[in-house]
Amino acid sequence: MTTPIIEVRGLSFHYPDGRTALRDVSFRLAAGESVGLVGPNGAGKSTLLQHLNGILPGRAQYEHHHYVGDGHAHKHSTEARVWVDSLAVTGPNLPQIRRRVGLLFQDPDDQLFCPTVLEDVMFGPRNLGHKSVAAREIAQRSLAAVGLAGYDDRLPHHLSFGERKRVCLAGVLACDPMVLALDEPTSNLDPRGRRQFMNILRELPAAKIIATHDLEMVLELCTRVLLLDEGRLNADGPTRDVLANASLMAAHGLEVPLSLTF
Amino acid sequence: MHIQDGLLDVRTCVAAGVLAMSAVGYAVHRVRQSFADRAAPLMGVAAACLFAGQMLNFPVPGGTSGHLLGGVLAAVLLGPWAGLLVLTVVLAVQCVLFQDGGVTALGANVFNVGVLGSLVGYTMFASLRRLVGDPAGTVFGSVLAAWFSVVLAAVACSMQLAIGGRFVLGPTLGAMLLAHTMIGVGEALITGMAVSFILRARPDLVYGRNGQAGAVSHVAQWVVGGLALALVAAVLISPFASSSPDGLEWAIERLGVEPEPVEPVLAAPMPDYTPRGLENLRLAGSIAGAVGTVVVFVAASLLARGLGTRSSLAHASHAS
Amino acid sequence: MQVDFLDRYSRGTSIVHRCDARIKLLVALGLVAIIVATPASWWQLVTAEFAIVLVAYAAARLPWSYLATRLASTLPFLLLLACGIPLSHGLDRGWDLAGQLLARSLLSLAVMITLVATTPFGQLLSALSRLGVPQVFTAILAFMYRYMFVLVDELEKMRRAKLSRTFYPSLWWELRLMANFVGILFVRAFERAERVYAAMCARGWTGRMPEQDGDR
């Protein structure tokens, strides 16, 4: 692999209450590659994604929350464990990192925080330094790319769930990231919404890492699969090889996708 | 208790407005310092929360219903200055978007609910918390502070209405006290139980728990304590003083803030039987205040003992 | 939350709608201040105020039924307050003051209703910040506006769930439940605020919006 666009080496993480979230996770992502991140609930998928743009390990105050566990406050090391485009994901690099990694969260209401759709999609470009006129153009192009042209003045709480998800995607695309980290992008979408979303994703040139339970989507869109369970990476290989391995899947609370059983 | 436009005269509006604006201006400065870039989402969501919470109604004996104000709750979770800012935002939105409260009276409303509720309420809470000790102190302090802040706001509102020229202080105060001591009990209980829930679920959300930024200066505590006592004395004791005018009215007369003389245009529809009724109202208000204080004190202790202990038990089992 | 009344008419095209939000805001505030300050004896000014308010509302081409319903919803409370004046004076004085109070309140309310019904919230906010209100304040307002509907809906869901399982309501029970709702609401709200903050940082938020160059 030429210089990977994402490199994770030996990443471990504990929640504030002492539970271990990630144990010594290592993998690489090449430019333009699409990787599926699968695993049971609570495996640490969202946690892993949030390490890719530096949201975690997060603020020091979290260390002193009340905890169960071995009684020690866990101080996370400040050593870099994640590199994006050869940049270490640590404090001073974070603004640069966030230009490169676009993170789409699970709940659109957590991400759609501006009064109107257009303002929200413009949020990213504005923070990146674009002037209003340029930001507006970028935002409108992104909205068109997700099939929501003309939704500029709509209010977020008047949109359907699927529309809100697409606005969030537009907001992330407007930042023109090299890597897209998506957390359960198709959950709660109806079949048409899901198909629309997948079509949009398929056309995007950015590298993608998609945390999801939707294994059929992984089969369609991803060339590689990472299997995470209890914070440990149990498998890292071509999609079919991992997803068709019935014993592996069963051992980690997953099922072989229907289309592979024929 | 949201004062509408037209209830207060210009002078009162301006005075209250200036007071409120200075307090809020300072609050903005302090919030920028303590919360930096987290201020906007955190305070905004908290304001939305208070707004939603204020839609909860509980019945109050006497036929009216009260609703949660949340001043002390906001202060307990976010600190006094952030609490003030959040309350101001809620009041402003209610005033402008929902026409609940007048725009010219915004200063007075912010003062009553925000300054008295958040700042004074927090000081009281913090002192009590230090006195009694965590976690019982947190619950105890929040219950008492919540009740007190509602009653204080009612007193301040009555005074504003009286100084503003249209209302006579005595009976207004009596009526407001009567209603708000009871509403205050509801607020106190809800605040206390909510705080105890939050203590169990996310104790890190309570402001100043690890002694970080929670210390209130001694001066502030003494000032607030003194004010509180003076107010309590004036309100509760004065009606029992015989024929001399009500202590506050006396003060108002002496200060020269005479209300405008009222020119009767309409003939009196009812003869003179009402002064007696009004006297009783004042007395009733004061009695309600006294009874309320005792009731809330008892309730606070019970809640703190019951729920505070449960919370500390939970902590003990977690840590083992 | 049934608040589409907030935005039902705000995207009209009347002259009032198209007016700059800053002007509308300042004029509205000024008008309310004048209404409150005008002594009742200056009846010419009072009449002029009535006329201005009615003309402005008509120019905004909003339905009169809307004004009527909005004012009617505040009427019970206003009447109660208004009666408080003569009551506190012993019922022999103060009726004229009560009448003045009603008139002033209703008129001011009409002004504010006109302002809000013709200005989308986003424009109000940008007007505020261009008039010098600190950015922190307008940012907080924006977030509040965005999430108040979400939270009220959450509360409503909790209430409905509670109703489905409550058979013998009592005051103490109601208070306890209400306290639990409030507690849960706050905890969830704070956790959501954390996630929103994370989402903002993910798109480059540093605490200050870059300079707006005169858009809107």
Q: Where are the domains of chain C?
A: 15-119, 133-202
Q: What is the pLDDT of residue C3?
A: 58
Nearest to C146 among A101, A129, A156 (CB): A156
Mean pLDDT, to the nearest integer, of B94-110? 88
Instruction: Give A23 to chain C, closest Cα distance, Å.
Output: 23
Mean pLDDT, to the nearest integer, of B134-154? 87
- List, in order, residues 6 or more apart from B145 with CB less than 8 Å away: B72, B75, B76, B121, B122, B124, B125, B128
Mean pLDDT of chain B: 76
DSSP for A90-139 reads SGGGHHHHHHHEEEE-S-HHHH--SSSHHHHHHHHHHHTT--HHHHHHHH
Q: At residue A142, does pLDDT exceed 90?
A: yes
Test B197 with C179 for CB contact under 8 angstroms. yes
| Contacting residues of A for B204, CB less than 8 Å apart | 61, 64-66
pLDDT digits (tens, 9 = 90+) for B48-79: 999 988 888 777 776 667 788 888 999 999 98
Q: Does C207 touch chain A (CB under 8 A)?
A: no
Test A64 with B210 for CB contact under 8 angstroms. yes
Q: What is the pLDDT of residue B292?
A: 75
Mean pLDDT, to the nearest integer, of B8-15? 86
Instruction: Give C209 to chain A, closest Cα distance, Å.
Output: 7
Q: At residue A37, does pLDDT exceed 90?
A: yes
ipTM of the complex: 0.88
- Preferred mutation among C24, C144, C153, C171 to probe B, highest tally of B CBs within 10 A: C144
Q: What is the pLDDT of residue B8?
A: 83
Beta bridge partners of B65: B59
Q: At residue A183, does pLDDT exceed 60?
A: yes
Q: What is the pLDDT of residue B63?
A: 63
Test B5 with C207 for CB contact under 8 angstroms. no
Q: At residue B175, does pLDDT exceed 70?
A: yes
- Preferred mutation among C88, C170, C208 to probe B, highest tally of B CBs within 10 A: C88
Q: Which of B149, B136, B204, B138 is nearest to B181 (CA)?
A: B149
CA distance B32 to B39: 7
pLDDT digits (tens, 9 = 90+) for C55-82: 988 888 888 888 898 888 888 888 877 7
DSSP for A155-182 reads -GGGS-HHHHHHHHHHHHHTT--SEEEE
Kindly indicate the confidence band of residue A92, based on its pLDDT and cuts at 50, 70 and 90. Answer: confident
Q: How is residue C40 written in tokens?
A: 């009742």
Test A126 with C209 for CB contact under 8 angstroms. yes
CA distance B72 to B76: 6
Burial class (CB in 10 A: 0-12, 13-18, 19+), A87: middle
Which residue spans within B77-223 are E strands per DSSP? none
Instruction: Give B165 to chain A, closest Cα distance, Å.
Output: 41
Q: What is the pLDDT of residue C83?
A: 76
CA distance A194 to A188: 9
Q: What is the pLDDT of residue B234?
A: 61
Burial class (CB in 10 A: 0-12, 13-18, 19+), C36: buried
Q: At residue C112, does pLDDT exceed 80?
A: yes
Q: What is the pLDDT of residue C216?
A: 39
Beta bridge partners of B221: none
Q: What is the pLDDT of residue B271?
A: 40
Mean pLDDT, to the nearest integer, of B234-244? 51
Beta bridge partners of A210: A36, A182
Q: What is the pLDDT of residue B293?
A: 76
B-C contacts (CB, under 8 Å): 256
CA distance C22 to C125: 10
Q: What is the pLDDT of residue B126?
A: 86
Number of H helices, E strands in chain B: 12, 2
Beta bridge partners of B99: none
Q: Does A71 touch chain B (CB under 8 A)?
A: yes
Q: B213: helix, coil or strand?
A: coil
Q: Which residue has the higher pLDDT, C46 or B249?
A: C46
Q: Does C186 touch chain A (CB under 8 A)?
A: no
Q: Which of C48, C52, C50, C66 is nearest to C12 (CA)?
A: C66
DSSP for C116-161 reads HHTS-HHHHHHHHHHTT--HHHHHHHHHHHHHHHHHHHHHHHHHHH
Q: How is residue B84 written in tokens?
A: 């003030």
Q: How is residue C199 written in tokens?
A: 């989402």
Test B102 with C108 for CB contact under 8 angstroms. yes
- pTM, 2 dp: 0.80
- Preferred mutation among A62, A65, A66, A112 to probe B, highest tally of B CBs within 10 A: A66
Test A66 with B210 for CB contact under 8 angstroms. no
Test C196 with B198 for CB contact under 8 angstroms. no
Q: Which residue has the higher pLDDT, A52 or C216?
A: A52
Instruction: Give A95 to chain B, closest Cα distance, Å.
Output: 14
Domain covering B10-27+56-309 in this structure, CATH number: 1.10.1760.20
Q: How is residue B36 written in tokens?
A: 């930096």
Which residue ranges make up each domain of chain B?
A: 10-27+56-309
Name the closest residue on chain A to residue C11, using Cα atoms.
Answer: A153
Taking each helix axis from N to C end, the angle separating B121-132 and B71-78, rounded to the nearest 10 degrees, works out to 60
Going by the DSSP 8-state scheme, the letter that residue B105 receives in this structure is: T
CA distance C209 to A125: 11
Instruction: Give C25 to chain B, closest Cα distance, Å.
Output: 11
Name the closest residue on chain B to residue A17, using Cα atoms.
Answer: B318
Chains touching chain C at 3 or more Cβ pairs under 8 angstroms? A, B
Kindly indicate the confidence band of residue A66, based on its pLDDT and cuts at 50, 70 and 90. Answer: very low
Instruction: For chain B, list residues whose CB is within 8 angstroms of any CB belonging to chain A.
Output: 41, 203-204, 210, 315, 318-319
Test B194 with C35 for CB contact under 8 angstroms. no
- Preferred mutation among B204, B313, B315, B317 to probe A, highest tally of A CBs within 10 A: B204
